[in-house]
Structure 1
Amino acid sequence: MTKVKICGLTQETHVAAAVAAGADYLGFVFANSRRFITADAAKKITTRVPAAIHKVGVFVQPTFIDIKHTCDIVGLSHIQLHGTITPSVQQALEKGAFQQLDVSVIQAFNGEALDLKEKLQSSLADFILLDAPADTTAYAGGNGQTFNWHIAAKEHTVSKPLFVAGGLNLTNVQQAITCFTPYAVDISSGVETNGTKDSAKITAFIQKVKELSINETTNE
């Protein structure tokens, strides 16, 4: 069954809506973004989140100390890395420091990178995330843009669980799932209205993915 990550959460009411609808992952952005949230604020709005639902911290070129500090405050189960891997994080990946923290690593990649296959094969992360190019956008993700799914699907040959992000919404998520058969889909701007999370859209998106997963299982 395809899992769902609702990313860019900043308000408790939207966290509650995602939890109630059955989200598997909740994403919190600790980097330059209009969805930025502090570690203390993220802790406050997730105090009622069941332990079975994963809390993901989204970072852009952080140091290992930055990550550890945030994990200690929020109680993250996963971190999501965008941009160039910094030396301290690379060292932590190589030495198993994240396993010691009991934190899994999701590494984000430009789904249209010419050397995508090589980058994916060299990644030390536990999960792979494919997203739209961010070179000409203000932020590393959550820009509401898709990428060439069919080309990226051919390049994605590694066996690690795959998250698909970038411009997902109710109308195209079925196509994305068909194209990638991903471990999870990751949405942010697609469940917003006028730049703010929308509880009704969060619920509808999660229900749509669950329905697609049930139909797929039934047809097998």
Structure 2
Amino acid sequence: MEKTAIPRVKICCISSTEEAWTAIRYGASALGLVSYMPSGPGVISEELITKIAACVPPPIATFLLTSSQDAQEIIQQVRNCRTNTVQICDYLKSGSYQDIRAALPGISIVQVIHVTTEESLKEAISVAPHVDAILLDSGNQSLLVKELGGTGRLHDWNLSAKIRQQVDVPIFLAGGLKPENVAIAVKQVAPFGLDLCSAVRSNGKLDEYKLKLFFQQLKYCTEEVSLEFN
């Protein structure tokens, strides 16, 4: 029987080189490095982001999370931090994805879509041709203090599944994932990747026991899904 591919795992809110290597050791395919955000956990300085990104081996993706809505600012941030991926957590107001791609050849562009209503589906379909992947999260851009990630909340996975079915780029699923619900996420949404922060932390620190538990549960549930569909 052919197994369902295990989704890639991105561990977000990495705050030190030690955390980076811990996440990699347990199986992370990508690391999230959070620059300035209006709210939420994990924010570190661009200097520290640069230091962490420099120590990560090439097979692992390093995501710079940015709240900037200006393409030129984003380009400068990536040049400063030297990550291999940029995760745009808000919508662009100034400049374009093409500006970013032209200025940063070889850098992957991931756009966050905060899944709230059917409008999120339209937004994802519109954005997909211009980016390398879409990350579906549970933030809220309409609040006075924007939530651009790290909420730990679930969103409507039925909408996420619709988005995954209608776009031609890889989908990362974020927001409230934990060992207890990862099987449902994999079965319902079938994402390319999963994005975790609070589920693998204790008192703000990366927790090796929680990491091990999540990766074990992910492997187990992926095998279960494979058996069901073969």
TM-score by length of 1: 0.87
Which 10-residue stretch deviates more, 36-45 or 1-10? 36-45
Question: 1:142 and 2:150 equivalent?
Answer: yes
Q: Which residue of 1 aligns with 2:185?
A: 176
Count of equivalent residues: 217
Q: CA deviation at 1:63?
A: 2.8
117, 121, 142: which one aligns with 1:113: 117
Question: 1:3 and 2:8 equivalent?
Answer: yes
Counterpart of 2:106, as a letter, is D
CA contact (8 A) 2:36 2:67 kept: yes
79, 82, 103: which one aligns with 1:75: 82
C-alpha distance in structure 1 between counterparts of 2:98 and 2:135, whole Å: 21
> Which runs of structure 2 are paired with 1:1-220 in the superposition (5 Å)?
1=5, 2-32=7-37, 33-90=40-97, 92=99, 96-97=101-102, 100-123=104-127, 124-134=130-140, 135-136=142-143, 139-156=147-164, 157-217=166-226, 220=230
What is the DSSP-based 3-state SS (H/G/I as helix, E as strand, rest coil) of the residue aligned with 1:112?
A: coil
Q: 1:116 to 1:42 in 2, by over 3 A?
A: same
CA contact (8 A) 1:14 1:198 kept: no
Q: CA deviation at 1:37?
A: 1.2
Which 10-residue stretch deviates more, 170-179 or 66-75? 66-75
Q: 1:155 to 1:52 in 2, by over 3 A?
A: closer
Gaps of 5+ in 2: none
CA RMSD of aligned residues (A): 2.3
Gaps of 5+ in 1: none
Counterpart of 1:128, as a letter, is I
What is the DSSP-based 3-state SS (H/G/I as helix, E as strand, rest coil) of the residue aligned with 2:55?
A: coil
Counterpart of 1:171, as a letter, is E
Counterpart of 1:142, as a letter, is G
CA contact (8 A) 2:9 2:195 kept: yes
Counterpart of 1:158, as a letter, is V
What is the DSSP-based 3-state SS (H/G/I as helix, E as strand, rest coil) of the residue aligned with 1:88?
A: coil
TM-score by length of 2: 0.84
Q: Percent identity?
A: 25
C-alpha distance in structure 2 between counterparts of 1:85 and 1:138, whole Å: 15
C-alpha distance in structure 1 between counterparts of 2:155 and 2:206, whole Å: 23
C-alpha distance in structure 2 between counterparts of 1:29 and 1:208, whole Å: 26
Which 10-residue stretch deviates more, 33-42 or 158-167? 33-42
Counterpart of 1:30, as a letter, is S
Counterpart of 2:89, as a letter, is H
CA contact (8 A) 2:183 2:222 kept: no
Q: 1:195 to 1:172 in 2, by over 3 A?
A: same
